[in-house]
Copies of this chain bind each other. A is one copy, B any other.
């Protein structure tokens, strides 16, 4: 809630001072940080990934002080391999990333957390390059250097950034077309919360969905980032009825945010609840879940209704890849025949911003409208919580266990010493907790197997009994036949 509650102007003033402070920080300040001797200096821009500061063939045009290139270092979150929350580690990268024509270097203030990052950690998101790699699709910060031919951005500009990956770092290099100027009064937290969720919700609702007054819509995970963005955007159209699924504890907040009918999907059948209120069905279903929920969504559509599938959150079960959940979601994945669409007058759409990263023009158009709505006060990202880079595991856990209401943000501001000590204690406890959970799971599994074995044994015994009986029965039957 920090970003929303703080007075915006004061916050911005503080934040503007920070880039200078941060430049003087060394990685040694952070005991949790893994300081690798010579990590490859990577940048968010894949083209720039191969270019190191030492590479004489590609001089960095914006690097004014040559010696700085050697001493330049920055912290970065790195996915070291697929798996649990601990696979994302905080590391220090050395060497100033080279800037190519049309690129800018951004000193990052805040980063946004998305479902795709959780999928990526488990190896379920093919748009993230193979580990080791920095995740992160959105951030906000201040331009620190501009490459050749960059005329629309200057050093000191406050921007929000949208990129395929690589933005969970203190310093990122991206094409200028991937940056958008922050409007007056927007906090860095809001700026980091905005791109992925609002562009996703906007393009789904207004391009694929063609949302109009008096229509009805189902928003799953209505307390999540896209859910809240979609609800706010629905409110920009007159008399739209929003059905929103979320656990009961979140209903008050999402109702205030614009959800007409909150539904607790844990205790209620949402299809039944919707049919009670809208017997004819819905105009739009936004489906981030996949699997059997896509079928339900399709069957809820009115004539001219649109189902928009934008994820497979049902694949996520537990912190590590759950092959059963993946297989089940995949197996139940929806497929449709055009003749069925024709007879129902229906539309099925698929959306994922991660596969749209080369469509700068489309994204810029959507962003322009979104910024305008922000300036008019019609939308405002809701920040759930802000974590330090060191706490990325906790941040991911909060999102995956669906405790958040709104956006989860990572801040590049380093933790204070006392916070770190507390964090270390908590970490120990959590690890113990996780171990206990794992042990319990293993024990349960053993018990289950033991039970199964018992049952098998019993079955065998029963069958043996039956077999024993059978010859007698056969004899009787034989007798009958003889008679």
Where the two chains meet, the residues of A that have a C-beta atom closer than 8 Å to any C-beta of B are 203, 206-208, 210, 290, 294, 303-304, 306, 309-312, 333-352, 355-356, 359, 362
Contact = CB atoms under 8 A, between A and B. Distances in A.
Contacts of A347: 208, 306, 347-350
Given A306-B349, A335-B336, A343-B352, 13 more contacts: A208-B304, A208-B306, A290-B338, A294-B338, A304-B359, A309-B338, A310-B342, A312-B339, A336-B336, A341-B348, A341-B350, A343-B350, A347-B349
A309 B340 CA distance: 10
Nearest to A287: B338
A314 to B, nearest CB: 12
Which of A210, A341, A355 neighbours the largest number of chain B CB atoms within 10 Å of its CB? Answer: A341
Contacts of A290: 338
Contacts of A346: 349-350
Which of A336, A338, A343, A345 neighbours the largest number of chain B CB atoms within 10 Å of its CB? Answer: A338
Contacts of A337: 333-335
A206 B336 CA distance: 23
Given A210-B210, A356-B304, A338 B345 contact: no
30 contacts: A207-B210, A207-B304, A208-B347, A210-B210, A290-B338, A294-B338, A303-B355, A304-B359, A306-B347, A309-B341, A311-B342, A312-B339, A333-B337, A333-B338, A334-B338, A335-B336, A335-B337, A336-B348, A340-B350, A341-B348, A341-B349, A341-B350, A342-B351, A342-B352, A343-B352, A344-B350, A345-B351, A346-B349, A347-B347, A348-B348
Nearest to A214: B361
Nearest to A362: B304
B203 A356 contact: no
A132 to B, nearest CB: 25
A348 B345 CA distance: 11
A336 B294 CA distance: 13
Contacts of A312: 339
A303 B348 CA distance: 15
A324 B338 CA distance: 20
